[in-house]
Amino acid sequence: MVRRGKIIKFSAVLFCLTPLSALFISCGQAPPRSGMELANFRDYEAQKRDRDVFVIDTDYGEIVILPLAEAAKNHVRKFTDQINLGFYDGLAFHHIEPGKLIQGGDVNSRDDDPSNDGSGDPGYFLDPEIKLPNLRGSVGLAHPPGETTKGNSQFYILLADEPNLNGRYTVFGTVVQGLDVVDKISRLPAGEHGQPLKKVVMKRVYIEKRFV
């Protein structure tokens, strides 16, 4: 369960593919892994074109996120607005789990007090738009456990399929470049509660058109 600062694991449940596979094709979802998914997504390369993407610049490289407005238009609109305002510049990834996920975007991470990271309130909440599964590379909105209407600026990026999150968290994007950067960040030295010992800053977050 994604929460501000930590994911608590529950037993996984099976998530079956649905006609949403067509949505992934049209959005340029990252290449799948199973044979059935490959059959449904085999036109991925042919779907590439110039698209607006979110780019997160860090000391470890760039993370490029394709927003999935067809699935979560309000989330994508809000994140686009906040990026254009420079809101995410200088914020940090405050929670990491090796090979599993990184989480960031808390307004509190802008200060020098790591003890309050994960509990910030930017002054708005986003209603859930839960349509897509949580797969490797998925970018989703974090919120307190069981409080789907309390998500705001915090988001997570997955490094592994997490079917236990399906139906409970809004996925609004997918990483199309830089998943190796996400993995590198996830494996940095961290404290007992998954907080990086060295602050991982989003130096600049911006929107750019790229061929993905």
Summarize the confidence of residues 39-67 as an average pLDDT: 85
- The strand pairing partners of 97, in sequence order, are 101
Determine the pLDDT at residue 26: 44
* CA–CA separation, 212 and 210 (whole Å): 6
Summarize the confidence of residues 102-131 as an average pLDDT: 93
C-alpha distances (whole Å) from 40 to each of 27, 44, 70, 176 are 13, 9, 18, 18
Determine the pLDDT at residue 11: 33
Report the candidate in 173, 122, 127, 129 with the shortest Cα–Cα distance to residue 4.
122
- State the average pLDDT for the chain: 85
* CA–CA separation, 79 and 81 (whole Å): 5
pLDDT band at 19 (very low <50, low <70, confident <90, very high): very low
Higher pLDDT, 42 or 193: 193
Cβ partners under 8 Å of residue 42, min gap 6: none
CATH, domain 51-211, list 2.60.200.20, 2.40.30.10, 2.40.100.10, 3.40.50.1370: 2.40.100.10
> To the nearest 10°, the Cα dihedral for 162, 168, 170, 174?
10
Higher pLDDT, 144 or 200: 200
Domain boundaries, the chain: 51-211
What is the tens place of the pLDDT at every residue in 127-184? 999 999 999 999 999 998 889 999 999 999 999 999 999 999 999 999 999 999 999 9
Helix (H, G, I), strand (E, B) or coil at 54: strand
pLDDT band at 43 (very low <50, low <70, confident <90, very high): low
Cβ partners under 8 Å of residue 16, min gap 6: none
Report the candidate in 53, 6, 9 with the shortest Cα–Cα distance to residue 27.
53
The percent of residues above 90 in pLDDT, for the chain, comes to 69
Summarize the confidence of residues 68-80 as an average pLDDT: 96
Cβ partners under 8 Å of residue 65, min gap 6: 53, 54, 55, 56, 139, 157, 173, 174, 175, 176
Determine the pLDDT at residue 40: 58
pLDDT band at 48 (very low <50, low <70, confident <90, very high): confident
Residue corresponding to tokens 């600026």:
153
Determine the pLDDT at residue 8: 36
